[in-house]
Structures are given as C-alpha cells and as structure tokens.
Amino acid sequence: MNIEHLRYYVEIVKSNYNLTVAAKKLYISQSALSQLINHYENLINVPFFKRNKGHLVGLTPAGKYIFQKSQSIINIYEETKKTLQNVYATNKQITIGIPILALQLVYEKFFQKLQLEYQNLKISIIESNSQKALYMLNNGEIDIAISTENPNTCNDLFSKKIFDSDLVVIMDRNHPLAKNKFITAKDLFIYPLASLNNSYDINKLIIKKFKSIKSTPVFTFQSSDLNLLISTCKNQKTLAILPTLAYSHVNKNEYCYKLMKPDIRFSIYISILKKYKRFDAKNFQIFIDMCKYAENFKEKNKEYDIYT
C-alpha cells in the first residue's frame, strides 16, 4: 500500500465502514474504493474486514493491526513532510497575485492554513485585477496568479480553471421581486442597484453583458466590501448584483437571490509559469495545494452552484 491507500483504509474505518461516506470524503468513487480493498485482501490472502451480507461491519484481527500501523505511518509521514517543508522553506518567499473577490469568497481560509503548514515561508499577497496579475506573472514579478480572465493564450503559463460561478441578484426577502423566478434587464432599471466598484473584473462583465442587449446598468451604490453591499438591500428596494457565492455570507432569513436573464457567468483560473527563474518545486506544490483547496471548496459549496 502507498500512503494514499493507507489514508483510504483509515477513512473507511473512521466512516463506520460506510464506503459511500468514505468515498465522498476522499473524492473517489465507491467502486474504486471497494476494488482497492478486494485487491489488497486477495494480494496477501488475508481479510481485513468483517462482512455481513456483503457489507463491511468491522475489522478482523489483521484489519485492526493494519489500522493501527496505518495511523502511525501516516502520522510519521505528515511529521516528516512538515519538517522537510519547513527546512526547505527557510528564507523562502512566495508572492501571489489575486483579485480581492477571489480572496474574500474562496481563498481566505486557505492562506491561514498555508501559514501553519509552511511556518518558515514568507507569503506575500498582492491584491490586483486579473489583467495586472497575469502581467506580473509573465514578467516574473509574482509566482502564482489568480484571474477571472482566461490565461490560456499564453504558452509560458500552466493554467487551470478552478471555479465557475454566476452573477445573481441578492435582495431583501420582502422585496417586490422576491417572488420572481428570474430577474430581467427591465427589472434592473426599476430599482436602485448595488455592485462592486469599477476596478473589479466582474463589474466589467456586467457592463459588457448589458451592452450586448443595448442597455447600460446604473449603479446607485458601489463598494469593494461584500457585507456592505449586501446590507444596502436590507429593508430596502436596492438590488445587489454579486457572485452566487456571496449569498453564503448572508442571513438566509433576511435575503434571497434570483437568477439573471440574460445570465452572466464567469470562471476563476489559477496560473503559474512553466519555466524561468521563479519556478521551483515548492511554488508548484503550493499551486497544486491551491487547486485541491478550490476543488474541496467547490464540493462543500455546491449548493450555490445554480446549474447543478
């Protein structure tokens, strides 16, 4: 067994032998997990699990021994990994360019976790729009860039789309439009509008979309503070145009959100240089960690993906 397989084994036991629950936590299929168990039991011809009508119900003596050893090995592996990372990261610095919105909605807790994992690593966050972040990355001024602009036109970058989101209309639950299934462009001209300020890429998407239908949105309140924008809707007729994920920050008893017609979708990308002096193994590992974190975040917040 490799270290990942040991993690799978431990998670099955911690999930009370429920393969469905364990597979969901491990982000693999239930069938793959079941095949892995059967493979190792057949390989050494020793059963690890007690079974009742095909279902796992407990551990055999051999299974208990493997469970105890697996936990010990995983702990030693994590301790060794952390020690090596901290030794390697001494006097190292990583600089990440990220739009403030992506930081607020997706990555805020990630950097807290990163600081704990790489205690000797200096982390520098540069808040910027997508265009500036990609420009700095291409010029070697930063190590990783987060953007809402598709960076795949540049051959020197390794990029991955980590998130798809939508812009929706957030409003007070007692708003006259709260019973509507969709919010149209015509609706948006009747009531005061709140949105992010003009420096945000998302605001440019709103204006571009409305231009395509020969309209221009008029914002009566703009800010970079999500909570402030949402609060302008409370007990008011103001409509806030924000990403769907912003709804996870609100009191659901006071606010609701509605889809827009025409819809406005956007994606979030993460990029790193394929080569050159700023590319190293540690930066790439953090790049991978950020991709994994986004995947886990997306899974935990899939209730806010209105297309699932």
97-107 average pLDDT score: 83
Same domain, 182 and 248: yes
Say if residues 210 and 217 touch (Cβ distance below 8 Å).
yes
Same domain, 126 and 146: yes
136-161 average pLDDT score: 83
CATH number at residue 21: 1.10.10.10
Distance CA 37, CA 39 (A): 5
Predicted confidence (pLDDT) per residue in 240-286, tens digit? 998 888 887 788 899 999 988 878 888 889 999 876 544 567 788 88
138-164 average pLDDT score: 83
- Domain residues for 217? 164-266
- Structural domain total, the chain: 3
147-162 average pLDDT score: 80
* DSSP H helices in the chain: 3-14, 19-26, 30-44, 61-89, 100-102, 108-117, 130-138, 185-188, 201-212, 226-231, 281-300
Question: Per DSSP, what are the bridge partners of residue 64?
Answer: none
Question: Per DSSP, what are the bridge partners of residue 146?
Answer: 270
Domain end: 37, 64, 87, which one? 87
Q: Choose among 266, 231, 283, 307: nearest CA to 88.
A: 283
In this structure, what is the dihedral angle of CA atoms 298, 149, 136, 118, given to the nearest 10 degrees?
0
41-55 average pLDDT score: 89
Residue 9, judged by CB atoms within 10 A of its CB (0-12, 13-18, 19+), counts as buried
DSSP category for residue 175: S
